[in-house]
Amino acid sequence: MKPIKRSAVCADNSFTTQSRSRAALRMLLFFVALMALLALSMLLGPSGIGIPDMESPSGSAILSLRFSRLLMGMMTGAALSASGVVFQALLRNPLAEPYVLGVSGGAGLGATLTILAGTGVLASFSLPVVAFLSAVVTLMMVYGIASQGTSGQPSVYSLILSGVIVSSICSSIIMFLVSTASVEGMHNVIWWMLGSLQPVSAGQQLLSAALLFGALAGIWLLSPRLNALALGREMAHYQGLHADLVIVIGLLFATLLAAIAVSLSGMIGFVGLIVPHVMRAIFGPDHRKLVPLAALGGGVFLVVCDAVARTLLAPVEIPVGVVTALAGGPFFLIILQRRMKQAWIA
């Protein structure tokens, strides 16, 4: 074994300090940018950027409406993005996200049934719960199908394949339900499916917020273990983790997050896929940092997209999912081109 060169170690340490301060600066810039973007979204209206007249009742109403949409966006975006982080880590696959695995589709089916079945206070409470339960059932189905003929662990490819299949079955059933529904039910479901950050009832918001914080905290607790699982289930086992238990808990939390997002805002695509990748490209794959940063980043990204969606063609509102894909896609490509090396090497 070679003797350690003292000088090399010193040089190495200074390198570490340098890169640490660079990382801290990057983090600071990121937070400043997030705050600025949030403020901008609050001030952006059909007539451009400006502070509405707080004295007039309409001005304060506008601000309060924008604020509640901001809350909806933060919650939905954070849920989708954190969910994507976990799916990508556990399946060790850059394509994994709630949509690909059929989880969102299952949640959507459950939500559609709830919307068509009834209205009123009960529906808004049961929406997240039913969405979560149907998402879990879907995940179990996907997992079960993918495990057929293997000794226990399904491969990532069969998981994604069966996810895509189950997902399209779910959307076919939704289409069928919509086509046979009453005009009003059809209107409700389609409007909801397009994805929108129209505030839901206060009760549902509170329930969703509580579930969201619970799931995020759970995932954050798991995050060091997600790092170990990135080297695979077998290696994580050797390093002393209950690997299978961590995987199951992680999948459940990620499914809960996806269900929260779907029940709040309908089907909004892309956020769960791209925000985790962008965050990983900027801040690296360490999940202890990545989970909170992706949640924040996903929230702000969706808020900004919503601000664009409601102002660009005002008074007509573009579905926010259209904006996330149209605006996010090119941005995603640029970031990936530049920094893929630091994000994901597949």
CB of 248 to another protein, least distance (A): 15
CB of 155 to another protein, least distance (A): 14
Query: Residue 45's beta-bridge partner residues?
Result: 48
> What tokens does 290 get?
């990545």
User: Nearer to another protein by C-beta: 204 or 223?
Assistant: 223
C-alpha 82/C-alpha 217 separation (Å) is 11
Using CA atoms, how far residue 3 sits from 7, 8, 9, in Å, is 12, 11, 12
Q: Are 131 and 111 in contact (CB under 8 A)?
A: yes
User: Nearer to another protein by C-beta: 280 or 310?
Assistant: 280
Q: Are 311 and 44 in contact (CB under 8 A)?
A: yes
Task: Give a three-class secondary structure readout of 153-176.
Answer: CCCHHHHHHHHHHHHHHHHHHHHH
Q: Are 76 and 228 in contact (CB under 8 A)?
A: no
User: Nearer to another protein by C-beta: 14 or 179?
Assistant: 14
CB of 96 to another protein, least distance (A): 11
User: Nearer to another protein by C-beta: 30 or 344?
Assistant: 344
Angle CA 194–197–200, to nearest 5:
110
CB of 57 to another protein, least distance (A): 47
User: Nearer to another protein by C-beta: 187 or 288?
Assistant: 288
User: Nearer to another protein by C-beta: 15 or 67?
Assistant: 15
List contacts with another protein (CB under 8 A). Answer: 1-2, 4, 8-9, 12, 15-16, 19, 89, 92-94, 151, 221, 223-225, 227-228, 230-232, 234-242, 280, 284-286, 288, 341-346
User: Nearer to another protein by C-beta: 52 or 284?
Assistant: 284
- Ordered DSSP codes for 28-55: HHHHHHHHHHHHHHHHEETTEE----SS
CB of 240 to another protein, least distance (A): 3
User: Nearer to another protein by C-beta: 91 or 268?
Assistant: 91
DSSP letter, residue 185: H
CB of 272 to another protein, least distance (A): 17
Q: Are 84 and 97 in contact (CB under 8 A)?
A: yes
> What tokens does 145 get?
């199908």
CB of 226 to another protein, least distance (A): 10
Q: Are 271 and 77 in contact (CB under 8 A)?
A: yes
CB of 286 to another protein, least distance (A): 6
278 CB neighbour count, 10 Å cutoff:
22
Q: Output 113-120 pairs: Cβ under 8 A, ≥24 positions apart.
A: 113/177, 115/185, 115/188, 115/189, 115/192, 116/177, 116/181, 116/185, 116/188, 116/189
